[in-house]
Amino acid sequence: MDILACPVCKGDLVLNVMEEDDTEVVKGIISCNACNIDYPIDDGIPNMLPPENR
């Protein structure tokens, strides 16, 4: 999380963990409150593409 920024505005993000194991967040949501965009984490992979590019 400490290396991630919103790909649209480069602003800070908020992490909401739904499932984690010893090493990482397996499922969750990363939100940019400024852009009002949610980036999902599935299978431990943050999908940081803007919704129109997914």
Partner 1 sequence: MTKIKYNGIEVTVPENVYEPSEDSFMLVDTVIYYVSEGMNVLEIGTGSGLIAATIQKEYEKCSVIATEINPKASLCAKHNGVNVIRTDMFDALKKNKKFDVIIFNPPYLPTVDEQIEGWLNYAFDGGPDGNDAIESFCERVIDYLDDKGTVFLVTSSLASIDRALKIMEINKLQPEIVNSTKHFFEELVVIKASKSRQ
Residue among 20, 45, 18, 40 nearest 30 (CA): 40
Q: State in angstroms the smallest separation of the CB of 17 from partner 1.
A: 17
Nearest residue (CB) to partner 1, 28 versus 46: 46
Residue 25 to residues 18, 40, 51, 52, Cα–Cα distance (Å): 8, 11, 21, 24
CB count in 10 Å sphere of residue 28: 20
Residues at the site binding partner 1, with contacts judged by CB under 8 A? 2-7, 10, 24, 39, 43-49, 53
Q: Report, in Å, the least distance between residue 48 CB and partner 1.
A: 3
* Minimum CB distance to partner 1, residue 40 (Å): 10
